[in-house]
Amino acid sequence: MKFNDFIITDIGFSNVNAAVINEKDITLKTCNGTGSWEVSEIPGAKELKEPKQEILISKVEILDDKTVRCLATISNAGLTESYCIKEVGVYIESDGGETLYSISTAK
């Protein structure tokens, strides 16, 4: 399955900027789900529509000043039912709070 480019949410952009300016540590994770999105909905999103599985990000590479590559392994271990991935969200955690940073949707 192919996915569209990630779109950064408004709140994700704001919280990452605040964490960088204040030199706070950021933890990343990803979440897969079955929700469907219109592109216009994504900037205002605060959660995935139908989250099904959380995945820890195992490696982060900074490619340039605007691009980061996150690597994660998706496994079916622990799942009780199958699902088709239609939405992928990247969450950031800083100062104990979790924020939906960006969303990619299936094409």
pLDDT in tens, 14-29: 888 777 777 777 788 9
* pTM reported for the whole predicted model: 0.86
Enter the tokens of residue 100: 């939906």
- CB contact set of 82 (below 8 Å; sequence gap of 6+): 76
Residue 14 CA to residue 10 CA, distance in Å, equals 6
The single residue listed with the structure tokens 């990247």 is: 90
Residues 88, 53: Cα–Cα separation, whole Å: 10
Distance (Å, whole) CA 26 – CA 102:
14
Instruction: Please tell me the predicted confidence (pLDDT) of residue 26.
Output: 76
Query: What does the alpha-carbon distance between residue 85 and residue 67 come to, in Å, rounded to a whole number?
Result: 23
> What's the confidence (pLDDT) of residue 94?
78
What are 64-100's pLDDT values in tens digits?
877 878 899 999 988 999 999 999 999 988 777 899 9
How many Cβ atoms are within 10 Å of 65's Cβ, its own excluded? 6
Residues 14, 89, 74: CA angle, nearest 5 degrees: 145
